[in-house]
Amino acid sequence: MIVTLTANPSIDRTVTLGGRLVRGSVLRAAATHNDPGGKGVNVARALTSAGVAAVAILPANAGDPLPSALAENRIEHVTVAMSGSARTNITITEPDGTTTKINEPGVPMTAQSLTDLHTAISEFGARADWVVLAGSLPPGVPADWYATLVESLRSASCKVAVDTSDAPLLALAERFPTAAPDLVKPNSEELAQLTGYDGHLLEEAALQGDPAAAARAGRLLLDRGVETVLVTLGAAGAVLVTNDGSWWATPPPIVARSTVGAGDSSLAGYLAAHVAGAPPPECLRSAVAYGSAAAALPGTTLPSPEHVHTDAVTVTALTTPAPDPA
């Protein structure tokens, strides 16, 4: 079983424009659509659709639109009471596939909700294969909360994956190696936040056929105690860095419609293959196949197995960069 924690879930509202987004003007939407969202929720949705047992833990109150949508979609979930209800995050999509995203900060978390989430994750962690801590933290949650959770899950038998950014990511890294998760899934920008590399250049180089810098940056996290680094690089695919080897996988050509949820789908694809016992390069292949399938779908629509074409992904072994002599 894979358990995901989304401390700051959302209703993802996709607004489809018939023309270009023009700042400062009144625009009329061609269509609108709501999906249950938040990174951990998305991972659980993609896993469920792949037939992998998954439970999403999130703050929400009975009858709120978010848990109701999860129930409708038969996504197993556990909620803890919160004050207020989930934020709404808006994605504006233009006909050429450009997406603009506006994420609300979320509802301030009470101390009681935070304690209840910690209790729920500890209980489920005791019987999970993986615990996934994903997304931003709402106001009122200390930035080092993920670090605290990773440390408290150390004694459980589950593996822990983290996908976050900004202050919670930096606070987690500050407590490496004790808070180093089994897996981190940074995109190029997040890897840059952790290592000082230029994220744009990492992705550009990989797009030009050279993923070595991304692998080198990922290696820095291994040196700080992380076991596996899955670096997603947008259209350039992803690099997997472990102490046993490194690989780069590139997606098939797709027409990108919305990359929202692509990273979450990558993580779900990786974990689905991992719990099935696949070796690292095949886990990477699955990650990239799920990510690119998600990018080809509109809004926060997540891929089902029929959208996922693992055979179309190319996996190349890389030389794992040597550990930092320092």
Ligand X SMILES: O=P(O)(O)OC[C@@]1(O)O[C@H](CO)[C@@H](O)[C@@H]1O
Ligand Y SMILES: Nc1ncnc2c1ncn2[C@@H]1O[C@H](COP(=O)(O)OP(=O)(O)OP(=O)(O)O)[C@@H](O)[C@H]1O
Which of ligand Y, ligand X, none binds 216 (CB below 5-8 Å, type-dependent)? none
Kindly state whether residue 37 participates in binding ligand X, applying the rule CB under 6 A.
yes
Q: DSSP character for 306? A: G
Both structure tokens of 212: 């070595």
**Residue 92 class from Cβ within 10 Å (0-12 exposed, 13-18 middle, 19+ buried)?**
middle
CB of 41 to ligand X, least distance (A): 7
Q: Which of ligand Y, ligand X, none does residue 237 bind (CB under 5 to 8 Å by kind)?
A: ligand Y
Q: Which ranges of 188-257 would DSSP assign to H, the alpha helix?
A: 188-195, 199-207, 212-222
Q: What interhelical angle do 262-275 and 280-295 show, nearest 10?
A: 150
Burial of 23 (0-12, 13-18, 19+ CB in 10 A): exposed
Site string for ligand Y, 243-262 (x = CB under 6 A): --------x--x-x--xxxx
- Interacting span for ligand X (CB under 6 A) from 37-45, 64-72, 200-208, 268-276: 37-45
Q: What is the pattern of x (binds ligand X, CB under 6 A) and - over residues 84-103? A: -----x-------------x
Q: Which of 2, 3, 5, 12 binds ligand X (CB under 6 A)?
A: 12
Residues 6+ apart with CB under 8 A from 88: 10, 11, 12, 13, 104
Among 264, 275, 280, 301, binds ligand X (CB under 6 A): 264
Token digits of residue 140: 């009122």
Closest by alpha carbon to 304, among 261, 242, 275, 274? Answer: 261
User: Catalytic: 264?
Assistant: yes
CA atoms within 13 A of residue 251's CA, in its CB half-sphere = 25
Instruction: Single out the catalytic residue among 163, 264, 311, 324.
Output: 264
Asked if 138 is part of the footprint of ligand X (rule: CB under 6 A), the reply reads no
> Using CB atoms, what's the residue nearest to ligand X?
37
Tokens for 227? 């076991």
- The 10 Å Cβ neighbour count of residue 243 is 12
232 binds, among ligand X, ligand Y, none (CB under 5 to 8 A by kind): ligand Y
In the three-class reduction of DSSP (H, G, I as helix; E, B as strand; rest coil), residue 112 is classed as helix
> Is residue 260 involved in binding ligand X (CB under 6 A)?
yes
Q: Which does 89 bind (CB under 5 to 8 A by kind): ligand X, ligand Y, none?
A: ligand X
Q: How far is the CB of 132 from ligand X (least distance, A)?
A: 12
Which of 125, 181, 263, 299 binds ligand Y (CB under 6 A)? It is 263
Which 199-238 residues touch ligand Y, going by CB under 6 A?
232-235, 237-238
How many angstroms separate the CA atoms of 260 and 243, rounded? 30
- The candidate with the shortest Cα–Cα distance to 4, out of 124, 167, 107, 171, is 124
Residue 1 touches which of ligand Y, ligand X, none (Cβ within 5-8 Å per kind): none
Question: Cα-flanking dihedrals φ and ψ of residue 222, to 5°?
Answer: -60, -40
- What are the catalytic residues? 264
The residues of the shown chain that bind ligand Y, judged by CB under 6 A, are 187, 232-235, 237-238, 251, 254, 256, 259-264, 266, 288, 291-292, 295
The residues of the shown chain that bind ligand X, judged by CB under 6 A, are 8, 10, 12, 37-39, 42, 89, 103, 135-136, 165, 260-261, 263-264, 300
